């Protein structure tokens, strides 16, 4: 999740939920077309050679989980981490993507494990059991996200589906942007109610930049914060954004009502014009195929602001 670059609290807000262990005797997934062995890599990650179509996949990345199911590789997935809340049929467990336990992962007898980062030597530990580990790092651009769709399709025997998914997502977003009137609007993106935000250098910031919006968090020392600065209430009030996007509605109960109740915030243009948008936190923090839904929500907000 690209949100992990924000303070650790912001990460914990999305890592909750019940765990369910998949059945050990579930049916084997059907064969799908693909050429193996195949060497796969995502932008910014090491290449991995997958010798045969994986039959038992463990995903420790919510974005990768969503992509795998969108590709049609869902029947090959035997376990996902506790933060993989979508789709509903994903076999959610207590596994952690932040602090992966090699022994707990190995218990699912995977032949491929997908992570967004390997900072604990997980790949080396799993290699001793013959399991390959594929990294799908936080996407920095839309092109990175599309490249991951293709890479995951290739790694799982769904190459054509991966290429199609990437092409469709790109075409959909390009059309949404093209069909949205360009308006001179500013916005505040809220990660949590302590005013952590995103700059245009982040993945989500780049998505919104395509619409020509001005980000009030830009210029707030991105080098020190990694693109996720903590603003102040005063900064938001002084900037008076036209739009407010809340990426903390599910985790923290934030809404147009709670924003309006903050001291002085009822004077903001976004509040007075009913332009506070409560997002689905998961869609707002992942680089899965649902980025199309995020783009559509932004477009709808811009249309409403110009009405």
Contacts of 150 (CB under 8 A, 6+ apart): 159, 162, 163, 166
Q: Which pLDDT score is estimated for 25? A: 37
Q: Which pLDDT score is estimated for 222? A: 52
State yes or no: pLDDT of 14 exceeds 70.
Answer: no
Specify the pTM: 0.88
Q: Measure the CA–CA gap between 98 and 85, rounded to whole angstroms.
A: 15
Q: Do 30-172 and 181-305 share a fold?
A: yes
State yes or no: pLDDT of 17 exceeds 80.
Answer: no
Q: Which pLDDT score is estimated for 34? A: 58
Contacts of 104 (CB under 8 A, 6+ apart): 94, 95
Contacts of 44 (CB under 8 A, 6+ apart): 137, 140, 144
Q: Which pLDDT score is estimated for 228? A: 93
Q: Which pLDDT score is estimated for 13? A: 36
Confidence of residue 224 (pLDDT cuts 50, 70, 90): low
Architecture of the 30-172 domain: 3-Layer(aba) Sandwich (3.40)
Give first-to-last CA distance, the chain, whole Å.
Answer: 34
Q: Which pLDDT score is estimated for 33? A: 52
Q: Pick the range with the lowest mean pLDDT from 4-18, 130-144, 168-182.
A: 4-18
CA atoms within 13 A on the CB side of 86: 15
Confidence of residue 192 (pLDDT cuts 50, 70, 90): very high
Helices (H) and strands (E) in the chain, counts: 13, 10
Higher-confidence residue of 17 and 53: namely: 53
CA atoms within 13 A on the CB side of 122: 26
3-state secondary structure of 264: coil
181-305: what fold?
A: Rossmann fold (3.40.50)
Confidence of residue 4 (pLDDT cuts 50, 70, 90): very low
What are 249-305's pLDDT values in tens digits?
999 999 999 999 999 999 999 999 999 999 999 999 999 999 999 999 999 999 999
Mean pLDDT of 50-75: 98
Q: How confident is the prediction for the chain on average, in pLDDT?
A: 89
Give the helix/strand (H/E) hosting 230. Answer: none
State yes or no: pLDDT of 30 exceeds 50.
Answer: no
State yes or no: pLDDT of 28 exceeds 50.
Answer: no
* CB neighbour class for 183 (10 Å; exposed up to 12, middle 13-18, buried from 19): middle
| Cβ-based neighbour number of residue 203 at 10 Å | 23
Mean pLDDT of 86-97: 97
> What are the boundaries of each domain within the chain?
30-172, 181-305
Contacts of 46 (CB under 8 A, 6+ apart): 135
Q: Which pLDDT score is estimated for 220? A: 76
Q: Which pLDDT score is estimated for 182? A: 92
State yes or no: pLDDT of 24 exceeds 60.
Answer: no
Q: How far is CA 233 from each of CA 7, 99, 256, rounded to the nearest angstrom?
A: 18, 33, 16
């Amino acid at each position: 999740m690209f949100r992990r670059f924000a303070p650790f609290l912001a990460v914990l807000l999305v890592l909750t939920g019940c765990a369910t262990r998949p059945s050990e005797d579930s049916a084997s997934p059907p064969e799908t077309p693909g050429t193996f062995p195949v060497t796969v890599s995502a932008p910014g990650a090491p290449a991995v050679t997958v010798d045969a179509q994986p039959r038992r996949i463990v995903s420790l990345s919510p974005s990768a989980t969503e992509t795998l199911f969108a590709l049609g590789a869902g029947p090959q997935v035997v376990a996902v981490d506790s933060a993989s809340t979508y789709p509903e049929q994903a076999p959610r467990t207590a596994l952690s993507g932040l602090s992966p336990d090699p022994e707990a992962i190995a218990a699912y007898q995977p032949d491929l494990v997908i992570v967004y980062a390997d900072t604990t030597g997980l790949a080396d530990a799993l290699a001793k059991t013959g399991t390959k580990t594929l990294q799908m790092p936080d996407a920095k651009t839309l092109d990175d996200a599309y490249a991951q769709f293709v890479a995951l399709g290739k790694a799982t025997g769904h190459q054509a589906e991966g290429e199609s998914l990437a092409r469709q997502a790109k075409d959909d977003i390009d059309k949404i942007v093209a069909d949205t009137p360009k308006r001179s609007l500013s916005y505040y993106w809220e990660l949590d109610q302590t005013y952590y935000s995103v700059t245009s250098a982040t993945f989500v910031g780049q998505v919104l930049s395509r619409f020509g919006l001005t980000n009030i968090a830009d210029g707030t020392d991105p080098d020190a914060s990694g693109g996720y600065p903590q603003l102040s209430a005063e900064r938001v009030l002084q900037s008076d954004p036209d739009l407010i996007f809340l990426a903390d509605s599910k985790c923290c109960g934030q809404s147009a009502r709670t924003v309006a109740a903050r001291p002085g915030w009822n004077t903001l243009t976004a509040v007075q014009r009913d332009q506070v948008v409560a997002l689905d936190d998961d869609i707002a923090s992942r680089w899965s195929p649902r980025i199309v839904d995020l783009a559509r929500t932004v477009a709808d907000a811009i249309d409403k602001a110009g009405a």
